Amino acid sequence: MQVVRTIVWVLLLAALLVFSAFNWRPVEITIWQGLVLETKIPALVVVSFLLGLLPMWLLHQGSKWRLNRRISSLETAHRTAVANTAAAPPPPETVHEPASTPVTTDVADDRPKDPA
């Protein structure tokens, strides 16, 4: 999996470098009435990409952190419950004594009787 991830990052970097080489032109961006920013197109593309990516990445990292804490809390609770169950003595065994009188049932015997 690490190899695939590395290949994807290398391909993205190569695509960015090719894009930058073919689009290295200055652009003027008017921020306010009297404030103009002159920058290159690749820098503008990278900054706008990061402005869109950063909030989602932070949200992802926060939810991953929260879920990892929740999982570790549940694992700790499970380990504690298992340890308490293992430490508890087993319930005493009950000895069943046979009944003093035999148990009879009043079920009719429908089997044919042997005439012999």
Q: What is the pLDDT along the chain (116 residues), one digit of tens a residue?
A: 999 999 999 999 999 999 999 999 999 999 888 899 999 999 999 999 999 999 999 999 999 999 999 999 999 999 999 888 877 676 777 777 766 666 666 666 666 666 65
Please report the pLDDT score of residue 35 as a whole number.
Answer: 93
Please report the pLDDT score of residue 34 as a whole number.
Answer: 87
Please report the pLDDT score of residue 85 as a whole number.
Answer: 81
The whole-angstrom separation of Cα 57 and Cα 4 is 20
Please report the pLDDT score of residue 114 as a whole number.
Answer: 66
Q: Is 36 helix (H, G, I), strand (E, B) or coil?
A: strand
Question: b/e for 17-56, b at 16 or more Cβ within 10 A?
Answer: eeeeeeeeeeeeeeeeeeeeeeeeebeeeeeeeeeeeeee
